[in-house]
């Protein structure tokens, strides 16, 4: 297939719309549903992210994309009891590919609402079962088992978008785009993310254990496919906070840090024991949890709105409980797509348990940033590689 006609472009008034191959065939095949313009942008970018995570980790990997940036990304490590509860994981054994998607979706379940799922490996029955109850627009993978396809074809009244990609297709070395009738051309971003980027340790603390090195690489790969400016927090084999598309670096760090804090608070015993009414849909649960762990939860819970979701009024998390829980977290990795211009980013990151940082370096205030890391005991590497995406 050389061309695929689309219903419309980014918005309903943007017609006609299509995707096509300038030469050869399209590297994708639509197995079910009718993906749209934004769907396919998410599909092609998210698959590249999942594939690179697979290459660096050796494990099946996944990404959860929204509006051309990842809401989450992860590798296929087993889920413990707490993670299963926090992520609404299905019971029973789970394949590594299913665990990877559940982790990726669980990084920020509110932002992942209506996501595009990307899988590095074959979509198996376990992964299809994990996708079924989630509000999702579609999935891309290099292959699908027949049983997985049977499940996915029942989703969204049969309209769920399922896209298969040729895993062996190599994109062109030069890429182009048109803006206002002007054609831009550049070399494809083909920088390799691997352990060599973590060799230039510039802080007094140079001790980065293997799990933290893995998480730094996961964060760097996630940044490669995140709209700039961007900062990513990572822990336990996945991104846990993505700050994308901000004009200010500190706002990226705050946004991603707030999401990381929420990721931790979803694991608080009070959160895990919230008394939901039977048959409350997952999106309603996610939204209720997001409100419950927020700063203004006490005000909201003092009204009667909780009765639509809970069997009884939950006991709110106190400010002291929130601070104590977040302050107990450590071992978080953080990567930035460009240098930190001021030490305030380091101060904010440390409040969310960050102990390891990878960033390009190159600021006139690198000394101040390094000093902030040394004061807080953070190990930081200068990668020398900028990862802007626009």
Catalytically active residues, by annotation? 66-67, 229, 390
390 forms bridges with which residues in the sheet? Answer: none
Beta strands in 198-278 (DSSP E): 231-235, 238-243
Residue 358 DSSP SS3: strand
d(CA 282, CA 271): 15
d(CA 283, CA 142): 28
User: In b/e form, how buried is each residue of 190-226, taking b as 16+ CB within 10 angstroms?
Assistant: eeebeeebbeeebbeeeebeeebbbbbbbbbbbbbbb
Residue 352, both tokens = 């969310």
User: In b/e form, how buried is each residue of 129-145, taking b as 16+ CB within 10 angstroms?
Assistant: bbbeebebbbbbbbebe
Cβ proximity of 73 and 66 under 8 Å: no
Spell out the alpha helix ranges (H) of 5-95.
Answer: 37-57, 81-87
Look at strands 69-75 and 61-66 and give their pairing.
antiparallel
User: How many other CB atoms are found less than 10 A from the CB of residue 174?
Assistant: 9
d(CA 260, CA 176): 35
Residues 6+ apart with CB under 8 A from 148: 122, 123, 124, 125, 127, 128
């Amino acid at each position: 297939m050389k061309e695929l006609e689309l219903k419309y472009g980014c918005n309903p008034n943007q017609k006609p719309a299509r995707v096509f191959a300038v030469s050869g065939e399209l590297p994708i095949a639509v197995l079910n549903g009718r993906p749209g313009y934004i769907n396919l942008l998410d599909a092609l970018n998210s698959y590249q992210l999942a594939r690179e995570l697979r290459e660096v980790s050796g494990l099946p990997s996944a990404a959860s994309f929204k509006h051309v940036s990842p809401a989450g990304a992860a590798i296929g490590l087993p889920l413990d009891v707490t993670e299963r509860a926090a992520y609404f994981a299905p019971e029973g054994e789970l394949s590594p590919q299913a665990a990877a998607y559940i982790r990726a979706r669980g990084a920020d379940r509110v932002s992942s609402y209506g996501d595009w799922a990307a899988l590095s490996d074959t979509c198996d029955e376990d992964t299809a079962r994990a996708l079924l109850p989630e509000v999702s627009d579609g999935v891309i993978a290099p292959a699908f088992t027949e049983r997985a396809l049977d499940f996915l074809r029942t989703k969204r009244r049969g309209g769920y978008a399922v896209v298969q990609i040729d895993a062996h297709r190599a994109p062109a070395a030069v890429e182009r785009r048109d803006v206002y009738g002007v054609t831009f051309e550049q070399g494809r971003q083909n920088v390799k993310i691997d352990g060599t980027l973590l060799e230039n340790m510039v802080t007094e603390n140079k001790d980065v254990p293997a799990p933290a090195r893995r998480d730094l690489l996961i964060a760097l790969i996630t940044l490669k496919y995140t709209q700039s400016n961007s900062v990513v927090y990572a822990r336990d084999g996945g991104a846990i906070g993505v700050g994308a598309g901000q004009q200010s670096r500190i706002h990226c760090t705050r946004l991603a840090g707030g999401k990381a804090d929420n990721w931790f608070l979803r694991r608080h015993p009070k959160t895990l024991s919230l008394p939901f009414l039977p048959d409350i849909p997952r999106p309603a649960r996610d939204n209720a949890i997001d409100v419950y762990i927020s700063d203004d939860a006490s005000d909201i819970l003092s009204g009667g709105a909780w009765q639509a979701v809970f069997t009884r009024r939950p006991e709110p998390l106190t400010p002291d409980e929130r601070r104590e829980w977040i302050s107990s977290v450590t071992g978080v990795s953080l990567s930035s797509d460009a240098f930190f211009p001021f030490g305030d980013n380091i101060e904010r990151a440390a409040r969310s348990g960050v102990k390891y940082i990878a960033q390009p370096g190159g600021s006139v205030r690198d000394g101040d940033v390094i000093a902030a890391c040394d004061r807080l005991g953070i190990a930081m590497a200068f990668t020398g590689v900028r990862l802007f995406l626009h």
